[in-house]
Structure 1
Amino acid sequence: MPEKCWITNETRICGLPSHATDTFEHVPQPIVPIEKSVKLGLCNGFRLWVWDSPPSKEFLDSVFKEAEFIIMDYWIGNASTGDFKRHIVNSGKSEKEFHDHNIKIFKKAAEQYGDRFFWSITAEPDSQGINFPKEQFGSKKEAHKFFIEWMKGFSSGMDPNTKLRWYDYLKENRIDLKTNNIAIQLGKASMAHYAYELGVRLVWVECNCGLPEGLQKTVAFLRGAANQFKINNTYWGIDFSTWNDRTHLSLHYDENGKRKGGLTESLYLRELMYIYLAGANLLHEEISDASHWINKPKWYSKLSPMGKIASRFGKFTKTFNRGKPYRPVAVMLEHDHGQSGLDDADTNQTWFGTVPTKNADLMIKHFFDLAFPGHDEYYSAQAKQYCKNTWNCGREYSEKIASGEDMRVFEGGRLATSRWGDIIDVIIEDCPEDVLSEYKVLILLGELKINEKLLEKLKKFVKAGGTIVANITNYFNCPESLLENTVCHGTQGAMWTIPSVRPGKVSNQIEKFTGFKFTGEKTRGSVSYCPVTKKNLFENGFVFEKIQLQTASAIATTVNWLWGGWGAPNAPYEHTPIAVENKIGKGKVVTTLPYFMMHPVHRNPLQISECIYDQVISDILPYRIDGKPIQYIFNKTETEDMIALFNNGDKSWKGCIVSKNKPINTKFDWHKDAPAKWFKEKSIWKLEVRVPKFSFKIITIKK
């Protein structure tokens, strides 16, 4: 994947919203000073919105004299402004003829400037569901098929009378999505794999503006998708929208440089730095014409407080070698997973509320809740109600800013703490073997089923040294009733029960792979035991499958008599496996035996999951972070390791970076702290670090 990073600003978007008449005067807006923006370090590229006519070749050439990159929004079928439709009418051409003329310009630009020019064909078909069906689909496969057709025809601000579908139009005109540098903008990164499957090489996702999920989960899906399709020389990016959906105000300033609304500068900077270090190729600063400049008494008169921060950030990226993000863990999902953000939590549905969420789907949610605690907090019902009780409109929000109230406390959840660091990519089941080989740990989640073809791929991964973590339900087709009817009762006088046997069989090859024989016998437990921590964990109940160990060994157990009949306490005390590992070649296969790793009624995740994931992942982390939970990310170059700590809380953080080996030299980047001093404690080395509230530190360690 290319390591290039483009930072783009708006040329003109009318970032000062016309509907906010209590705050703005809506006046004609000139194009930003392109040469000045680049020299100030604000950006190295620009986004061109095509509200009416597309830019001429001469204009594109003039921009490229100063900038490295252009991404242009031109949506076929679009009627989001009257000017666009009126321009078609005034041209004397039909809608198709009008597009034909303009597409020639774009094709020539792609030929002339290569990957410096991309054309975004549609915007957020997954978050602007105009006419998206309300009825239920019969399966995820059916919902996926509908979504792909939806995406192929969707245009933001779609003209209901248009007969043009952008995908069909491009195909009919022999415009290849790869060679002509077509991009797709999404609102939910969980749909990114499907966009790349169409053939586009750049997928970018808008964040913050009322869109679900925190940035870390967004990165995991988007970066993983780009990597899975890297054979096409793919790119990925983030559109930082500074609109605060709870106030309907963008980040902007008055003539005195006082912030009037939108996200805080603190969150904006932390997001920019995190996404940059996470490896994004495109960082677009939406509405930068309003957020980076003070536009009174005249447009672009001087930089705003955010503009000064953006200028420093842009200059920093020119000299700082970010290397590559360390991402040794991949989560593999079934192809038609349909994880669509908060729709799953709010309506108990996948695929935008059209397919009921299953037990297997909840495993995905539980994993990311563990990996990034609080990642969906910003859009939780409790958080929204809290803000609603605090201010009722944009004017009240602006008044709170003016009063000096710290508005950063209302932004929790956009960036969350990370249990193992931000080291996760999400891939889907048809991932190529060469991409799989880049990861050290592969976690199978959701309704993914291991068929013969996938099994062969997984065998190669494990033999080469990889670790796989799977739930027993990934090995057979299981009904939703799997957690029910745990036992078949005998007569009351006999006082005994007959274990229930689940349907479904597995092959001998699967049993050899897992290292145990599947019995199909369902049983129950209430306490799990972690040998590493030597603690009993009270789970309140779970259903698991008894197995017969062959080459595998237990790594977590339960006490087998706790769910027995009246005479159970007199039964022998022994531990029954609920998680096992089987070593194959240089790697191993870890299988968890409780169905879906959750309580059978309340669907809460089991505590033993933390122990199992910790055992697998902790060993592959280059450094340990001691202290209260914090967000962190690792980056590597040939000669240096980098650790970035992001404190998104309202209290200062104090902790230690722990290394097995003595570092040669260490320095702080961005924030110029005192020289870093490591100290030895027993056989390990520690570096004490303090991170102020709502801030971050970048520590560079020479190998």
Structure 2
Amino acid sequence: MEGNVRPFAYIAIPAEANVAACYPDTADSDAATTLRELGVTAQSAAWRLGMPEFDQGGGCWARDRPNLGGLPDDQAYATWSSFYLDAKALRPYLEQSAQQRGYKWMSVCVYAFCPQYAYDLGSDVVLLERNIDEVSGMSPGLAMVRGAARQNDGRQWGIDISTYRYWNGGPTTFDDNGRLVTGWSPSVFERSMYAAFMAGADVILNEAAVYGYGAAERGRNPLGVVVGDFADFSMRRHPDRGIPEVPMAILQDHFSGYEPQFGEFDQYPHKWYRKNPYTQGDRMLSGLLEVAYPGYRSWGTIVPNAPWRVAGPDGTLDTQATQAAYRRALAAGDADPRIWEPMGSTRWGESIDVITDRARLDTLLRYRIVVLANSGPTAPDLHADLTEYVRRGGTVVVNASQLVPGPDPLTGVQISAERRPADGVLWSDGTVIPESPFNYVRIVPGRDAEIVATTTDGSPAIIGHKLGAGSVYLTTADRLLDATGRDLLASGLRLLDERQADVATVRVEGPPLQYLVNKVGTSTVVTLINTDVGGSTWQGRLRFRTDAGSAHVNEWTADAPVESLVGAEEVVVDATVPPFGVRVYGIQPGR
């Protein structure tokens, strides 16, 4: 295995964790020797998978886990971590480095809050399980696991792709005619694999599935075709996906335990296994994610007017009857399950990472824009790192409620403790932006401040401040949210739109969809993922920012040339994506 470039995972859960009843085939009393005999070292592309789905809501791993309800976030975090390190007796394994163990340790998280903490525990690589409607969706999950990995010295990360669909009560299987019996349509797998790959995942782990027909697995069933085609794309034709463009980070509270909302039963603003309400910082993070990933909360829901939704006598959802009705709808053979599989889109592409207030300067410097969504007040060491980050050319967007009242050197303003109501914002270009009622913090701007926007009564709403080679934007609306604490203000969205446009290398025009941007050498690659649950073909336009006088454009899934138009400092491509499909456009600028 030494020097092996293909990932290799050996599932071996320590017996001390006492979860063997759920994982009967994973016992190895001397996994270190087994791995050593296989030639595995701390430098190999191989891992010991010692904590699969360890943060699960139920099952063996969750047995005897303390109830976190009512605990402050820092205590909930400490209790949760101690349970795995001490009650599950994993501390001796996780406190060692990969070099000390002789191998790397892999963990698989179920919930999106978990990857940061799995790295804290000592994991070398963390996968986040997606593609199951009992947890949140690919967006914003990608941002949370990738951000956690980057914050932890660029450790490896990946996506674990489940085959199980809760709403029809089974894994993805097909009959001998290629008809879906239970699980997800193949297009969900295709879109998930492309998203994970182009987002930069080091590992994509497809959970066990049947890819052929019958007991002998002859030929390829529809899932086998999709997985085989993706393997051909990612491992043979286009193994170099380059570097994902991720210019923005959203910074949250480290101990938050924040979990994105999703599904039929998890739309409430709760976290830590549904036990505790969102904090003010969590609500700001949620508001930002709502605009960055429109519709992400629809993942795992039952689409409106689904014919298989069954209500009980009291009008509430009858889960078992609904699952049975879904299976009958699939068995009838005339239904397209793809219209029942909603997922979110991306306003700015998968161009965001979620990091925490434990991030230091080296992490901040990975990004061109950092938006604070922590509860505050900002700790002195983070405040100092943010100041240096801006001096070196970064852009920070911070809210007055995250800063201590008094003079603030980062923003160049005097911050008061006074709050006032407002219901509109006047932009510096004269545009009036009506807003839902909100409260704002009174500030006194410095002499060199740029007044980007005011409330309609003339008080500063957004202030720009130059510092060294970078800029700070201070927003005064409380958490940048309306008075209900839920929705991001339209003026805040305009500020973020403008900052994102400053750094984007591609502008995607057209109906909502999920997209990703990568740099492959001198080429720019855009992956377009059609998320329209209505089944429409996506038609739009890509505007690549370049000063090249010519360009060559290829569509990678078909390896076919595409026409383009070279204009003033841009190359324009008319793009289409079939219903529920994926297309990948790469532009190579000429000389």
What TM-score bracket applies, with the shorter chain setting the length?
A: 0.7 to 0.9
Kindly report structure 1 stretches of 4+ aligned residues shifted beyond 6 Å.
64-67, 171-178, 381-386
Mapped pair 1:180 → 2:109 = no
**Match for residue 247 of structure 1?**
168
Q: CA deviation at 1:80?
A: 4.9
Q: Which residue number corresponds to residue 148 of structure 1?
A: 81
**Cα displacement (A) at 1:115:** 2.5
Look up the SS of the partner of 1:654 in the other structure: strand
Q: Secondary structure at the match of 1:376?
A: helix
Cα distance in 2, alignment partners of residues 67 and 642 from structure 1: 24
* CA distance 1:602–1:167, change in 2 (3 Å): closer
How much has 1:141 moved relative to structure 2?
Answer: 0.6
What is the CA distance between 1:310 and its match in structure 2?
1.4
Contact 2:244–2:516 under 8 Å retained in 1:
yes
The answer to whether the 8 A contact 1:237-1:284 is kept is yes
The one-character-per-residue Cα deviations of 1:67-88 (angstroms, maximum 9, x if unpaired) are 9332122223345548939x9x
Report what 1:676 is aligned to.
Answer: 563
In the alignment, is the contact (CA less than 8 A) between 1:517 and 1:547 conserved in 2? yes
Change in Cα spacing, 1:67 to 1:277, as seen in structure 2 (3 Å) is closer
Q: Where does residue 412 of structure 2 map in the other structure?
A: 515
* Alpha-carbon separation, structure 2, partners of 1:261 and 1:426: 34
In 1, the alpha carbon distance for the partners of 2:94 and 2:200 equals 32
Identity within the alignment, %: 20
The verdict on how the C-alpha distance between 1:694 and 1:546 changes in structure 2, with shifts beyond 3 A counting, is same
Aligned to 2:24: 84
| Aligned residue number for residue 468 of structure 2 | 585
Q: How far off its partner does 1:176 sit?
A: 6.9
Cα displacement (A) at 1:420: 0.9
In structure 2, what is the equivalent of residue 457 of structure 1? Answer: 385
Assess, with a 3 A threshold, how the Cα gap between structure 1 residues 102 and 464 changes in structure 2: closer, same or farther: closer
Question: Are 1:125 and 2:54 an aligned pair?
Answer: yes
Distance in 2 of aligned mates of 1:172 and 1:583: 43
Tell whether 2:236 aligns with 1:306.
no
Cα distance change, pair 454–112 in 1 and its aligned pair in 2 (3 A): closer
Moved more, 169-178 or 236-245: 169-178
Pair 1:115 & 2:1 matched: no
- Does structure 1 residue 657 correspond to structure 2 residue 554? no
Q: Residue 7 of structure 1 aligns with which residue? A: none
Q: 2:455 aligns with which of 558, 561, 574?
A: 558
Q: Which moved more, 1:331-340 or 1:114-123?
A: 114-123
Distance 1:113 1:540 in 2: 55
Structure index of larger Rg:
1
SS in 2 for 1:513: coil
Q: 2:153 pairs with 220, 230, 236, which one?
A: 230
Instruction: Kindly provide the CA deviation profile for residues 311-345 of structure 1, in whole angstroms up to 9, marking residues without a partner as x.
Output: 12112212312101111111111221210333996
C-alpha change, 1:347 and 1:393, in structure 2 (3 Å) is closer
> 344, 347, 363: which one pairs with 1:435?
363
Could you say which residue in structure 2 is the equivalent of 1:197?
120
Instruction: Give 1:358 shift.
Output: 2.2
Unaligned runs of 5+ in 1: 1-60, 88-97, 155-164, 477-504, 561-574
Deviations 1:653-679 (A, max 9, x none): 211112343552111110355632225
Q: Which residues in structure 2 correspond to 1:540-555 (within 5 Å)? A: 540-550=436-446, 551-555=448-452
8 Å CA contact retained: 1:110, 1:118: no
Residues 151-188 of structure 1, C-alpha deviation per residue, up to 9 Å, x if partnerless? Answer: 3367xxxxxxxxxx341453799987864211111101
Q: Give me the whole-angstrom Cα distance separating, in 1, the residues matched to 2:134 and 2:523.
A: 36
Partner of 1:697: 583
Is residue 71–residue 120 contact of structure 1 (8 Å, CA) maintained in 2?
yes
CA contact (8 A) 2:161 2:205 kept: yes
Q: Out of 526, 529, 537, which is 2:426 matched to?
A: 529
Change (3 A) 1:179 1:628: same
Query: What one-letter code is carried by the residue in structure 1 that aligns with 2:575?
Result: V
CA-CA distance at 1:238 after TM superposition: 0.8
Q: Would the aligned equivalents of 2:178 and 2:221 in 1 still touch at CA under 8 Å? A: yes
Offset of 1:307 from its aligned partner?
1.0
Q: Which residue pairs with 1:267 in the alignment?
A: 188
Q: Is the 8 Å Cα contact of residues 412 and 445 (structure 2) preserved in structure 1?
A: yes
What does the per-residue CA deviation read over 1:175-211, in whole Å, with 9 as the maximum and x for residues that have no partner? Answer: 8786421111110132211111222111011112233
TM-score relative to the length of structure 2: 0.88
Q: Where in structure 2 are the equivalents of 1:375-414 lying within 5 Å?
A: 375-380=296-301, 388-389=309-310, 392-394=322-324, 396-397=326-327, 399-400=329-330, 402-413=332-343
Give the residue type in structure 1 aligned to 2:50: I
Give 1:396 deviation, angstroms: 4.4
Question: What amino acid is aligned across from residue 580 of structure 1 in structure 2?
Answer: I
Structure 2 gaps, min length 5: 312-320
SS, match of residue 496 in structure 2: helix
Q: How many correspondences in the alignment?
A: 565
| Aligned-partner Cα distance in 1 for 2:294–2:74 | 30
Q: Distance in 2 between matches of 1:235 and 1:135?
A: 29
Cα distance, 1:212–1:528 mapped onto 2, change above 3 Å:
farther
For the 8 Å contact 1:334–1:449, the answer to whether it is kept is no
Amino acid paired to 2:10: M
Contact 1:359/1:596, CA 8 A, preserved across alignment: yes
Query: Deviations 1:582-607 (Å, cap 9, x if unpaired)?
Result: 01111101111011122224643322
Q: What's 1:369 paired with?
A: 290
Q: Secondary structure of the residue that 2:459 maps to in structure 1?
A: strand
Task: Classify 1:648/1:371 alpha carbon distance in 2 versus 1 (closer, same or farther; 3 Å).
Answer: same
SS at match of 2:63: coil
* Residue aligned with 1:427, SS: strand
